[in-house]
């Protein structure tokens, strides 16, 4: 068995192998191939400031596993084992990947390896660790059940992330009305103007970098990266999907949500022209939406602004969807977990990310 960097025609083999892993999985929806191609072929804003090394692990002529080593310019202390896919019962291939990552870290003076992050958070965080019999919500990670066992013996730190599920039709903030009246006197909550997308992305990037500074998997982003990402989604969403909280005209928080487009995508399919047409003609078939991100700048985290964001979101979605899935929340984030437990019906899916400390 050997591990080797790949390029040219081998990159197509990498992509084909990723699809092969899921060829008989009726719950799989392809949410990563578009991003993966961008990474593998060094296109897009993220690639301009990252060292990217795609790898194949082979046994004879057969591919056993693939992954991409990523060292982001703004996160030079970490090597990511990203865009990982593998066959079942090939622990030897995973051991080889980890050994190779350790050696690269030793040479480059890097002290930490992460598994479960694909470039940055918006490209994917966490390996699915439960509910493998359910189709993933759009924007959520999905993988075979055996993935979470492959890295556990190497891990020096395990992170657990949880998503929450709630019945929107039964959700109500009426009991919080007096508090909401006060919050709405102190803050305004508006939807983004996608007619001025570049300006709104400046606000979105600013808020992300302020709100998630210190998150163990967050990498500071540029406006260009976020603008590129939203341009890809723009045919499918509009400004209501990005809610911005403001205090006296200054942005202090945001929520990003979108419909579960996976409900319009067939097994193995991906977001594309067919989904666009179905979304135009059959959007009422979608009965679930996903809250992808919620952030409040540190100085206003105890102000109630997050409740105002939820209130605005419910106003926009109340009569259109039955279910809301919210995640990923780190188990160490007690404030967000507490709010999720109060607002949602139940904890839903579990995800895991791993960290390997590389000793000198």
pLDDT in tens, 71-104: 998 888 999 999 999 999 999 999 999 999 999 9
Q: What contacts 49, CB < 8 A, 6 or more positions away?
A: 72, 73, 74
Q: Does 65 score more than 80 pLDDT? A: yes
Output phi, psi for 329, to 5 deg. Answer: -115, 125
Q: Is the pLDDT of residue 304 over 80?
A: yes
Q: Look up residue 160 and give its two tokens.
A: 């657990």
Q: What is the mean pLDDT of residues 315-343?
A: 77
Is the pLDDT at 280 greater than 80? The verdict is yes
pLDDT the model gives residue 333: 66
Domains of the chain: 2-162 (3.40.630.30), 166-349 (3.40.630.30)
Confirm if 223 and 202 have CB atoms less than 8 A apart. Answer: yes
Least confident of 294-298, 314-318, 332-336: 332-336
pLDDT surpassing 90 at residue 148? yes
Q: What is the pLDDT of residue 337?
A: 58
> pTM, whole model, 2 decimals?
0.91
User: In this predicted model, what pLDDT tens digit does every residue of 306-326 receive, in sequence order?
Assistant: 999 999 999 999 889 999 998
**Span 239-265, pLDDT tens digits:** 999 999 999 999 999 999 999 999 999
Q: Is 278 exposed, middle or buried (0-12, 13-18, 19+ CB in 10 A)?
A: middle
Q: Which residues contact residue 225 at a Cβ distance below 8 angstroms, ignoring those fewer than 6 apart?
A: 44, 45, 46, 120, 205
Q: Percent of the chain at pLDDT above 70?
A: 96
- The backbone region for 19, taken as left when phi is positive above 0, alpha when psi lies in -120 to 50, beta otherwise, is alpha
Alpha-carbon gap, residue 338 to 144, rounded angstroms: 30
How close are the terminal C-alpha atoms of the chain, in Å?
A: 27
**Over 90: is that where the pLDDT of 109 sits?**
yes
Q: CA 153, CA 230: separation in Å to the nearest integer?
A: 38
Q: What is the pLDDT of residue 284?
A: 83
What is the spatial distance between Cα 98 and Cα 92, in angstroms, rounded to a whole number? Answer: 10
**What is the share, in percent, of the chain residues with pLDDT greater than 90?**
71
CA-to-CA distance for 288 and 323, rounded, in angstroms? 4
- Establish how many alpha carbons lie within 13 A of residue 89's alpha carbon, considering only the half-sphere containing its beta carbon: 0
> How far, in Å, CA of 262 to CA of 285, rounded?
11
Any idea what the Cα angle at residue 42 is, between residues 37 and 48, rounded to 5°? 135
Q: What is the pLDDT of residue 96?
A: 97
CA distance 183 to 177: 10
Q: What is the mean pLDDT of residues 108-124?
A: 89
Mean pLDDT, rounded, for 324-342: 70
Confidence (pLDDT) at 66? 98
- pLDDT tens by residue, 185-236: 999 999 999 999 999 999 999 999 999 988 888 888 899 999 998 998 999 9
Report yes or no: 257 and 244 within 8 Å, Cβ to Cβ: no
- pLDDT at residue 144 above 90? yes
- Strand, helix or coil for residue 190: strand
CB atoms within 10 A of CB 302: 10
Which residues make Cβ contacts (< 8 Å) with residue 338, sequence separation at least 6? none
């Amino acid at each position: 068995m050997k591990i080797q960097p790949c390029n040219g025609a081998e990159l197509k083999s990498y992509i084909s192998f990723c699809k092969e892993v899921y060829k008989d999985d009726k719950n799989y929806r392809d949410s990563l191939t578009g991003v993966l191609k961008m990474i593998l072929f060094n296109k897009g804003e993220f690639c301009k400031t990252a060292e990217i090394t795609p790898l194949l692990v082979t046994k004879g002529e057969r591919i056993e596993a693939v992954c991409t080593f990523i060292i982001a310019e703004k996160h030079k202390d970490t090597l990511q084992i990203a865009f990982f896919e593998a066959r079942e019962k090939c622990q030897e291939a995973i051991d080889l990947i980890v050994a190779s990552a350790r050696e690269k870290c030793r040479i480059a003076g890097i002290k930490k390896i992460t598994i479960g992050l694909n470039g940055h958070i918006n490209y994917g965080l966490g390996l699915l660790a439960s509910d493998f019999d359910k189709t993933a919500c759009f924007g959520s990670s999905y993988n075979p059940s055996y993935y979470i066992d492959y890295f556990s013996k190497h891990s020096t730190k395990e992170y657990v992330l949880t998503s929450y599920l709630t019945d929107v039709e039964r959700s109500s903030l009426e009991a919080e009305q007096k508090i909401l009246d006060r919050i709405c006197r102190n803050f305004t909550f508006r939807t983004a103007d996608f007619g001025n997308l570049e300006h709104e992305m400046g606000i979105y990037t600013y808020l992300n970098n302020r709100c998630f500074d210190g998150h163990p998997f967050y990498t500071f982003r540029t406006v260009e990266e976020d603008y590129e990402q939203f341009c890809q989604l723009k045919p499918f969403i509009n400004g209501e999907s990005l809610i911005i909280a403001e205090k006296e005209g200054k942005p202090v928080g945001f929520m990003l949500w979108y419909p579960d487009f996976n409900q319009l995508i067939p097994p193995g399919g991906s977001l594309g022209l067919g989904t666009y047409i179905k979304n135009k003609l059959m959007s009422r078939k979608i009965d679930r939406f996903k809250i992808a991100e919620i952030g409040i700048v540190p100085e206003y985290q105890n102000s109630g602004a997050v409740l105002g964001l939820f209130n605005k979101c419910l106003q926009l979605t109340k009569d259109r969807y039955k279910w809301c899935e919210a995640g990923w929340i780190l188990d160490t984030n007690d404030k967000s977990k507490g709010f999720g437990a109060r607002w949602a019906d139940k904890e839903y899916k579990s995800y895991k990310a791993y960290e390997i400390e590389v000793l000198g």
